[in-house]
Homo-oligomer: A and B are copies of this chain.
Amino acid sequence: MVSQPVQAARLPPSAADIAAAFDGARIMVTGGMGLIGSALAERLVGLGADVLIVDCLLPDSGGNPFNIADIRERVTVAQTDIRDAGRMRELLAGCRYVFNLAGQTSHLVSMLEPLEDLDINCRAQLTLLEGCRAECPDAVLVYAGTRQIYGSPRTLPVDESHPLHPVDVNGVNKMAAEAYHILYHEVYGLKASALRLTNTYGPRMRIKDARQTFVGVWLRALLEGRAFEVWGGEQLRDFTYVDDAVDAFLYAAIVPETHGRVFNIGGDPPVSLLALADMLIAAQGDGRYEIRAFPADRKRIDIGDYHADDRLFRAVTGWQPKVRLREGLERSLAYFRTHFAHYV
């Protein structure tokens, strides 16, 4: 595969650029009650945007009404399933930006209910793009893709030219949805781009179970004074703090050179799961974990080590992560200590 040249770094958009782009603009955030969506909505509200949150609060997703409690009076909320094509078209009319983060995120659920995963992560995405063509063809779209579509890395770090080899139904559907976005740019000129996210974490994440990321159940156990389980432990992973992910979405929306392209989003240098576990316990000041062999039903869809080469996105947009892993974990713990009851 042809490697994409890494361009010389540029300066990130200025605060003035960001304000000018979003102030007064009608902006749809699908999955807007989830981890990233709610943080993005909050940021956009602060920038003066007219934010429309779309979220149907699927039981297995990251959506939680409490996530937008602080901005509830300053946004419009449509508790709409993105599978509802007619309603989505009404909502898309007049939007200048669409941050498309709605999805079924659980890899395990996608294997148990593959057709439902397809309807949410693939069919509804195509419907949304058809809606954008019809209702807001000049809007900028940023799609929340996933590193899961690479499968088990053949080389590390993984750049965007790494072959795609999804290891679960979720990965296939997310791969197709990303491809629709790029296709609709190429064929119809929609200003769409896609960010291939790695583990994103932070305040407001789902901690009830591991349907969003395993970090959620670790946090929960720690806060409840229980040991958490580390499956395996040597696997390397990278992590993006939610505020850095929000920056990435805003920059992708503002910088026109992103249109029609896909980008990895990473963060700090990768750490092993054991190192992460130790860091989390240090951040909490207390706690313990148990090391377990990988459960069989997870093992077959696990990808081993992963870390992103995200130099392309840094070069094109000037993005760089600002929150170190240790600090992000501390902020997450502090948040959930206060708001724990809303998340379990």
Contacts and interface: CB of A to CB of B under 8 A. Distances in A.
Interface in A99-142: 111, 114-115, 118-119, 122-123, 126-127, 130
Q: Identify whether the interface residues of A are mostly helix, strand, loop, or mixed.
A: helix
Nearest to A117: B126
Interface stretch (A41-49, A65-73, A163-171): A163-171
A274 interface: no
Contacts of A1: 1, 161-163
B179 A167 contact: no
A256 to B, nearest CB: 21
Contact of A161 (B122, B126, B163, B300): B163
A25 interface: no
A179 B175 contact: yes
Contacts of A166: 179, 183
Given A176-B173, A183-B168, A187-B111, A163 B2 contact: yes
Give how many copies assemble into the complex.
Answer: 2
A168 B187 contact: yes
Contacts of A183: 166-169, 172
B186 A167 contact: yes
Interface of A: 1-2, 111, 114-115, 118-119, 122-123, 126-127, 130, 154, 161-164, 166-169, 172-173, 175-176, 179-180, 183, 186-187, 300-301
19 contacts: A1-B161, A2-B163, A111-B187, A114-B130, A115-B126, A115-B127, A118-B126, A119-B123, A161-B163, A164-B164, A166-B179, A166-B183, A168-B187, A169-B183, A172-B179, A175-B176, A176-B176, A186-B300, A187-B301
Q: Which 3 pairs across A and B sit closest by C-beta, in order of nearness?
A: A1-B1, A176-B176, A172-B179
